Amino acid sequence: MIPVALLLAAASTAPPMAVIDENSVMREEPPPHGAIGMSTAYRISDAVPQPRRMEFRKRILHVGAAIGLHPIAHDEVYHVLSGTGDVKSDGKTRSLTPGMTAYLYDGAVVGIQQTGKEPLALIIAYPVKE
């Protein structure tokens, strides 16, 4: 077990934590990479003081909306909170339902389309470009 004093000394070099209420960063906008339909974007990590090393976002794709196909230069994660969608990576398509996560790899061409009658709510995370 690591002594508490040692843990506190190590933690003191880190910036203070940031706590963001998603409602404070919510906006209606077309999804990225093609502006296909409309979405509700929660740009959570944009509210974090610099420096930061990752993007963490929530996006709700309205019925018929999609994040269009685009190449990624980092690993990226799409986690489904609610609704259904089809995720694409390098020409392969998989259906996603709540609780499922797609881990997408650096160099792939990816995108995701809302399917079904309900909006598709996602958490999206990826590293910040250095």
Task: Kindly report the length of the chain.
Answer: 130
Residue 95: the pLDDT is: 98
Residue 71: the pLDDT is: 97
Whether the upstream peptide bond of residue 51 has omega within 30° of 0, thus cis, is yes
Residue of 109, 106, 65 whose CA lies nearest to 84: 65
Reported pTM: 0.88
The domains of the chain are located at 20-127
What are the residue ranges in the chain where pLDDT is below 50? none
For the stretch 53-76, pLDDT in tens is 999 999 999 999 999 999 999 999
Residue 7: the pLDDT is: 59
Class of domain 20-127: mainly beta
In angstroms, what CA-CA distances link 30 with 7, 38, 43, 60, 64?
A: 44, 4, 13, 11, 11
